[in-house]
């Protein structure tokens, strides 16, 4: 059985509740552009963070989901630290990733599969097992050519002993109970947000 992604949102109503939660986080944005100027990845983004926050405030979910901006966020927290309004911008970016993954947006498929297979591996072994992770990821991609793109890098890392082949020396410490608890907390948080939104 595959675990549900963290922050899974199964209905359109829940997705809009979550977008409303993100909108609340950034509603005090004054569009100063400090987040964009601070972001080390801004040049690679199709929308600047400032423009994306404007779309979130306007509730334009489809346009936000069509963007790669939140996927390219590296969680460096520079925008959050430098925001003159003290907005939790990195947390908002993570929430947008959660919405995109829950909607199973085709544009973000490879990022979603990478995240999900990474977390499945950690859940099962209590740590990252490179061989198990790579096997899961490339199987989920369903593209026989995908592993070939990474073969030169993989060979280089194996040559330096950076990729653990087989089970390794460390024992398994499954984290199923921890993951189940986090999923329960996420469900409770979504239900609370939905109830507060209907008041």
User: Looking at the predicted structure, is the pLDDT value of residue 5 above 50?
Assistant: no
- Tell me what pLDDT residue 79 has: 95
- CB-based contacts of 40-43 (< 8 A; 24+ apart in sequence): 40/74, 40/76, 40/78, 41/72, 41/73, 41/74
Residue 156: pLDDT over 60: yes
- pLDDT digit string, tens, across residues 35-81: 999 999 999 999 999 999 999 999 999 999 999 999 999 999 999 99
HSE toward the beta carbon, residue 179, CA cutoff 13 A: 19
Highest mean pLDDT among 34-38, 102-106, 151-155: 34-38
Q: How sure is the predictor about 112, in pLDDT bands with cuts at 50, 70 and 90?
A: confident
User: Which of 81, 142, 137 minimizes the C-alpha distance to 112?
Assistant: 137
Q: What is the pLDDT of residue 75?
A: 92
Which residues, other chains included, contact 133 with Cβ-Cβ below 8 Å and sequence gap of 6+?
A: 117, 118, 121
The confidence score (pLDDT) of residue 6 equals 39
* pLDDT for res 84: 96
pLDDT band at residue 16 under the 50/70/90 scheme: low
Kindly report the average pLDDT of the chain as a whole number.
83
In this prediction, residues 151-169 reach a mean pLDDT of: 78
According to DSSP H, which parts of the chain are helical?
12-26, 34-38, 49-58, 61-65, 78-82, 89-103, 109-125, 130-141, 146-159, 176-197
Q: From 48, 56, 52, 49, select the one nearest 27 (Cα to Cα).
A: 56
d(CA 167, CA 130): 10
Confidence (pLDDT) at 173: 77
CB atoms closer than 10 angstroms to residue 40: 11
Q: Strand runs (DSSP E) across 89-161, as ranges?
A: none
Q: Is the pLDDT higher at 61 or at 194?
A: 61
- How far is Cα 84 from Cα 114, in angstroms, rounded to an integer? 34
Residue of higher predicted confidence among 96 and 115: 96
CA angle 51, 90, 36 (to 5 degrees): 35
DSSP summary character for residue 106: G
For the entire predicted model, the pTM comes to: 0.66
- 92: DSSP letter: H
Classify each residue of 128-151 as buried b or exposed e, where b means 16 or more C-beta atoms within 10 Å of its C-beta: ebbebbbebbbebbeeeeeeeeee
pLDDT, tens digit, 9 for 90 and up, residues 70-103? 999 999 999 999 999 999 999 999 999 888 888 8
Q: What is the pLDDT of residue 90?
A: 94
């Amino acid at each position: 059985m595959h675990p549900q992604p963290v922050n899974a949102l199964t209905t359109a109503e829940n997705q809009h509740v979550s977008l409303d939660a993100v909108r609340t986080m950034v509603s005090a944005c004054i569009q100063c552009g400090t987040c964009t100027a601070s972001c080390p990845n801004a040049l690679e983004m199709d929308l600047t963070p400032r423009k994306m926050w404007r779309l979130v405030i306007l509730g334009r979910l489809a346009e936000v989901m069509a963007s790669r901006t939140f996927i390219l966020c590296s969680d460096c927290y520079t925008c959050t630290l430098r925001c003159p309004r003290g907005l939790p911008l990195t947390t908002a970016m993570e929430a947008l990733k959660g919405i995109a993954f829950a909607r199973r947006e085709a544009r973000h498929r490879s990022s979603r599969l990478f995240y999900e297979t990474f977390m499945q591996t950690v859940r099962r072994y209590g740590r990252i097992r490179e061989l198990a992770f790579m096997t899961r990821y490339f199987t989920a991609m369903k593209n026989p050519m995908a592993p070939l793109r990474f073969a030169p890098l993989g060979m280089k890392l194996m040559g330096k002993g950076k990729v653990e082949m087989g089970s390794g020396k460390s024992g398994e410490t499954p984290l199923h109970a921890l993951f189940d608890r986090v999923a329960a907390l996420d469900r409770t948080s979504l239900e609370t947000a939905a109830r507060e939104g209907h008041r």
